[in-house]
Amino acid sequence: MSITPPRDRSRLGTRTRLVHAGRDPSQQHGFVNTPIYRGSTVLYESYDALKNRRADYTYGTTGTPTVRALESAWTELAGAAGTVLTPSGLAAVTVGLLSCLKAGDHLLVSDSAYRPTRIFCDGFLARFGVETTYYDPTVGAGIAGLMRDNTTAVLTEAPGSQSFEMQDIPAIAEAAHARGACVLMDNTWATPLLFPPHERGVDIAIEAGTKYLSGGSDLLLGLTSANARYWPALRRTFDQFAICAGAEDVFLALRGLRTLPLRLREHGEQALRLARWFQGRPEVARVLHPALPEDPGHAIWARDFLGSSGLFSIILKPCPEAAVAAMLDGLELFGMGFSWGGFESLVIPFDCAPYRTANPWAPGGPGLRFQVGLEDMEDLTRDLEAGFARLRAAS
């Protein structure tokens, strides 16, 4: 058996590819995994090599073998021309936006985009002369009507943060490309395993590796990939900022990559089971999950996505805030906290009303977002049943 990875991986399935991508035991004394390289200085072999930067690695900020391993594995998984790694998912969003915008440009952003993305657009980008308009996430081909002469980028995210609206990415991409604009997508929910972004028309795709790639709530990481057209600009922007990811975090993400398909499938199945369970509860008005046939975004999800992950929301029937607090405070198995994608279940109350601008947010009751972990489903539903009993008692 050879210790070099299979050379032509194009004929292999995704799971096999993820086992072999980004590591080469023949280059690391036979050890299975790419080691953690830490370092700033890289020594050059000669005056000529230094003068002409003739070396695989030139300086710590531009990459190490550990970084290259994850960059190349993600590029392969996402079907991209290249990938950069950033110290957080939000940095992956901002480096993507900054690589296709300049002063005087107009940017279109989905109204259900990740809220810190909005804060970056309204704060930093506005200060540097980029104007942002928020659009109805379900606009589809209608995005053409919102494009101006100076619209150079359209940011999408599907399903939307908190509220899970689906977006017709191929239709948006077609309309945006007809006007020469760049299409970005925050693909954190699906990962390239469940939505191959560049195949569907996305130019620059963003993944918060903090979520499913980690799978352990133990690191922060962002990945931004680009197709051939936008890769040079993305790499240039990244190099000018030198917002490089930490070596240990990249190593842990490479470890997470090997089991990503299995974990994602399990999170997805568990979440769908819990979503259906919520549909049968009298306290719940609506379940926001695009893989449910009743969901308004289901047709688009079924057409474009290869599966669903572990995050969705519910809208409770109207009840006092104190009842929601009583429900959540007593939960034993659902932690309350931001972020998601780890092995453990989480719940967070949400209200999009204060910041949505394209569509008013008025769902008619309190919203709860659930991240479904790897626990036994019967334990999770028992915990929630007790929670609903507390909610009813306090209503």
Ligand X SMILES: *Cc1c(COP(=O)(O)O)cnc(C)c1O
- Residue ranges in contact with ligand X by CB under 6 A: 88-90, 93, 114, 161, 186, 188, 208, 210-211, 220, 222, 339
CB 283, min distance to ligand X, A:
26
Q: Which of 219, 217, 213 is nearest to 249 (CA)?
A: 219
**Token code pair at residue 97:** 């936006």
Shortest distance (Å) from residue 322 CB to ligand X:
29
Spatial distance between the Cα atoms of 2 and 8, rounded to a whole number of angstroms: 14
Nearer to ligand X, 160 or 261 (CB): 160
User: 220 or 327: whose CB is closer to ligand X?
Assistant: 220
- Provide CB contacts within 8 A for 12, sequence distance 6+: 6, 20
The residues facing 155 across adjacent strands are 109, 184
Nearer to ligand X, 60 or 116 (CB): 116
Question: Closer CB to ligand X, residue 92 or residue 316?
Answer: 92
Residue from 345, 392, 335 nearest 373 by CA: 345
Work out how close the CB of 371 gets to ligand X at its nearest, in angstroms, rounded to a whole number: 10
Whose Cβ is closer to ligand X: residue 186's or residue 203's? 186
* Shortest Å distance, C-beta 89 to ligand X: 2
Contact at 8 Å (CB) between 196 and 229? no
Largest CA distance in the chain: 78
Q: How far is the CB of 296 from ligand X (least distance, A)?
A: 20
Shortest distance (Å) from residue 222 CB to ligand X: 6
Among all residues, whose Cβ is closest to ligand X? Answer: 89
Query: Min. distance of Cβ 255 from ligand X in angstroms?
Result: 17
Question: With respect to ligand X, which residue has the nearer C-beta, 89 or 366?
Answer: 89
Residue 161 vs 237, nearer CB to ligand X = 161
The span from the CA of 199 to the CA of 357, in Å, is 30
Q: How far is the CB of 88 from ligand X (least distance, A)?
A: 4
Q: Is 186 exposed, middle or buried (0-12, 13-18, 19+ CB in 10 A)?
A: buried
**Phi/psi of residue 47, nearest 5 degrees:** -55, -45
Nearer to ligand X, 161 or 225 (CB): 161
